[in-house]
Structure 1
Amino acid sequence: MQDLWLIGIGTGSPVHVTGEGMQALRDAATILVPQKGAGKDDLAELRRRIIAASGTTARIVPFDYPVRDPGLPYLERVDAWHDQIAERWHAAMGKGGSAGPVALLVWGDPSLYDSTLRIAARLPVPPRIRVVPGITAIQALTAAHAIPLNTVNGPVQITTGRRLRDHGWPMGAETVAVMLDGECSFRRLDPAGVTIWWGAFLGMPQQVLYDGPLADAAQPIEAIRTAARARHGWIMDTYLLRKA
């Protein structure tokens, strides 16, 4: 049975990879590096920098990442996409050429709003999974803004931009951490009494932060996000919302 190690790498900064993660890279026999196409070469390059910083002698196997079919309904589209990713993983793992653990670097943490574990379960022969946790985007965001995740005894809801857009403010939540929002869904909320702390490229040299009352900050954040994505060709951002 193949060993597959899923190594959380934080938000792309080598200093956000834990000591355990670096050791896992050194101990791996093969490391898979996804290539996400034109305009996203930085993503593969960031992975390669982390790999180089670990000092590993593992064999590096790149593979092309599939794209989602925009013509399918959302859940069907994601399901088909995960099948395709699993097929690419399986093919790339076969190119490793040596026995030993295969490692895959995962943004943030493989257990938090990430489908890596679900994709691994779709491999033709289920591997032995080892998860090495990384710094999550939420940790990086709250640290960058020097704020706590919650208030004293206050509830926190972690959700996606899609759910915020479709269902509004989660019932009973005082603080909402929002992941995977490509549409600035905070613009759809009633901003009264809401503060936002937003960040992109967390922990990287190009990190950008913005915070303030949602009524005042929503438009500047959207403009900053649009400009940053155009400049870099991609963006990874997250934000925290809190009601007074």
Structure 2
Amino acid sequence: MILLHGLFASKDNFHSLSRRLSHQFTVYALDLRNHGESFHDPEMSYQGMAADTAAFIEELGLGPAAVFGHSIGGKVAMELALSQPVLISALVVEDIAPKQYPPRLAREVQALAELPVTDFTTRPEAEKWMIGKLANPAVARFLMKNLVSAEGGGYFLRLNIEAIQSNLDTLLDFPSSSRSFQGPALFIRGGSSDYIQDDDFSLITRYFPNSHVETLDGATHWVHAEQPDAVADLVLDFF
């Protein structure tokens, strides 16, 4: 099973879920381009990130593989299933629909772009700055997971925030397609999230006719972080 994270996240965010799923699957958690330890590139389309994932699957001879994607990782997984279905045995999408979203996340992107990385000598200093910018300690601490120690001292931001900022409109959208993926697909949404609405079910079914949606009550957009056991149970029951 291939795990694909959401915006501002990395493969490290899948530790709990990976442990649970590893009882049934060999699990590979990937860093998308411009995130984590992966390469930086000014181009950040879903077609490009799906091609990255396809290259990984093909190089290691893993196909067909199950693919789990959260948020933009879910859009990458959907694009991969639509464009190269031979590589995908099944699809799990967490809290995202194959549609264009209205403008959001601009404040978080701008805060990361303005982060004065070289001014900080400790992580708490950076977290305090980010909390002051966003007035949301939980989101600030999540974003600050991208601030890592440099070899010679100090810190650097491992996100390619410039590429994310310039491609934000692309990331909010989804590539239009006349194709569909006929394999099994599970969509998991947070009951307290607005990312998958009831009105989206018909669109999901058009692209993924062999799909169904499960809702985890009380969960927000970060479903697997808040309810890792419940998400793992849904995925394992699905398979």
TM-score (norm 1): 0.34
- Computing the radius of gyration over CA atoms, which structure comes out larger, 1 or 2? 1
Higher share in helix:
2
